[in-house]
């Protein structure tokens, strides 16, 4: 099942399967399952997981929530899941570099590229905060939703802290 919510990032399609959140997709989204392999099913604006996700995202965008408490299943490989789990430890309003994430996973800086690839394949952006990962020099680097969205998310979090 899925629903669509309005956000400062534009419309977001929120997808659940078997009562766990499997995706948050930026508009414009693709309607086929081929890129992700995740089923979308029918639209259901009243599904409890989707309603709770929409409520928590709305509170986040309003500066009233700094963390999410939702059932998640991003799928992915074992390494991707390790990276995504580590992303969830980056605090609200904080950032980390790809190399720092690699180090936290017990890998050398050479794994930064693999971390970046896993980061870019995160199917549940915002909630799994891949936007908090930046370049070693502090620069904004790639973001599946586009750098403008990444910058907006980081600014939203910085603004909410002050």
Q: What sign does the dihedral 33-79-3-25 (CA atoms) show?
A: negative
Number of other residues whose CB lies within 10 A of the CB of residue 37: 8
Tell me the C-alpha distance between 101 and 25, whole Å.
24
Give the helix ranges, DSSP H, for the chain. Answer: 48-61, 78-87, 98-104, 112-120, 147-161
**82: number of Cβ within 10 Å:** 18
Q: Measure the CA–CA gap between 9 and 152, rounded to whole angstroms.
A: 8
Active site residues: 130
């Amino acid at each position: 099942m899925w629903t669509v919510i309005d956000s400062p990032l534009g419309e977001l399609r929120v997808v659940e399967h078997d009562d766990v959140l499997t995706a948050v997709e930026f508009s414009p989204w693709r309607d086929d399952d081929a890129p992700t392999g995740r089923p979308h099913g029918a639209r259901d604006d009243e599904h409890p997981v989707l309603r709770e996700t929409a409520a928590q995202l709305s509170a986040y965008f309003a500066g009233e929530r700094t963390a999410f408490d939702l059932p998640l299943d991003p799928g992915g490989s074992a390494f991707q899941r390790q990276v995504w789990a580590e992303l969830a430890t980056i605090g609200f309003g904080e950032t980390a570099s790809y190399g720092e994430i690699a180090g936290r996973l017990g890998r050398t800086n050479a794994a930064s590229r693999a971390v970046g690839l896993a980061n870019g394949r995160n199917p549940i952006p915002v909630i799994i905060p891949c936007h908090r990962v930046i370049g070693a020099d502090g620069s904004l680097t790639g973001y599946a939703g586009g750098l403008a969205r990444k910058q907006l998310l980081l600014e939203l979090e910085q603004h909410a802290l002050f």
